[in-house]
């Protein structure tokens, strides 16, 4: 188990757009909810507002665009070399909208986390809110998972459920799911930083015990967190 006297977990965060989960992680580190340090924020989009959030927090930024490379393979190789140079203890995908190649995923196996706006394995991929509303589902939510070569695959660590309201639009539903993400993602990263969470060969352990199903966290009230599973 890590303690506050131990070196902080080093992170590199990959983003493509707003960086709202990045901001939640920055805040959680500042509030000592995560014993960590973000070494760099990397984006494939030079106009990503999340880059401004990183710079305001004094975090180094790097931009690498797919259009700057002759082939996708060249881009993927450069991205791996760029992130690997920081030697992070954990790579965090926070709205990174490109699929990572197998070389990247394999290199950071067991230390590569993603957030996805659905209760995986339901609704991998894009437009989860529209698909949930079209299906008239009663519940939506978010998942934090270790990344594998399968799209939105890899073992799921934790989930938070969000009720779907009768009058929900994609925007109103996404706002509530993102609010859950901003609480759940820092929580899971905090587990990893303290040595509570580990992933080896697609097997997750939490507090030294096999995690056979995702931990379900209910954020019922700002002052109350209910943990189950």
| Residue span of the structural domain in which 90 resides | 9-228
The pairing of strands 197-200 and 156-163 is: unpaired
Residue 3 maps to a domain? no
The yes-or-no answer on residue 116 being catalytic is yes
What tens digit of pLDDT does each residue of 73-104 get?
999 999 999 999 999 999 999 999 999 999 99
């994609």: which residue's tokens? Answer: 170
* Three-class SS state of 191: helix
Catalytic one of 3, 35, 78, 116: 116
Nearest to 173 by CA among 186, 164, 161, 185: 164
Average pLDDT over residues 165-186: 97
Average pLDDT over residues 8-23: 98
Residue 52, domain CATH: 3.40.50.170
- Give the contacts of 158 (CB within 8 A, at least 6 positions apart): 143, 144, 184, 187, 188, 214, 215, 216, 217
Residue 4 maps to a domain? no
Residue 2 maps to a domain? no
How many domains, the chain? 1
What tens digit of pLDDT does each residue of 189-228 get?
999 999 999 999 889 999 999 999 999 999 864 433 444 3
Please tell me the distance from the alpha carbon of residue 57 to that of residue 142, in angstroms, as a whole number: 26
């Amino acid at each position: 188990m890590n303690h506050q006297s131990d070196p902080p977990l080093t992170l590199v965060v990959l983003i493509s757009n707003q960086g709202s989960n990045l901001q939640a992680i920055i805040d959680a580190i500042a509030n000592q909810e995560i014993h960590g340090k973000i070494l760099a924020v990397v984006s494939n989009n030079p106009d990503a507002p999340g880059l401004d959030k990183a710079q305001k927090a004094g975090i180094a930024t790097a931009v690498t665009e797919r259009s700057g490379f002759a082939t996708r393979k060249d881009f993927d190789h450069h991205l791996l070399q760029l992130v690997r140079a920081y030697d992070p203890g954990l790579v965090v995908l926070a709205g990174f909208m490109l699929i990572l190649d197998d070389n990247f995923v394999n290199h950071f196996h067991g230390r590569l986390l993603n957030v996805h706006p659905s209760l995986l394995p339901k609704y991998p991929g894009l437009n989860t809110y529209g698909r949930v509303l079209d299906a008239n589902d009663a519940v939506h939510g978010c998942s934090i998972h270790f990344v594998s070569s399968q799209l939105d695959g890899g073992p799921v660590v934790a989930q938070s459920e969000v009720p779907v309201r009768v009058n929900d639009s994609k925007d109103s539903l996404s706002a509530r799911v993102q609010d859950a993400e901003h609480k759940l993602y820092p929580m899971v990263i905090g587990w990893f930083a303290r040595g509570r969470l580990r992933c080896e060969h697609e097997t997750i352990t939490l507090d030294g015990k096999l995690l056979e199903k995702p931990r379900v966290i209910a954020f019922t009230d700002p002052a109350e967190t209910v943990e189950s599973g």
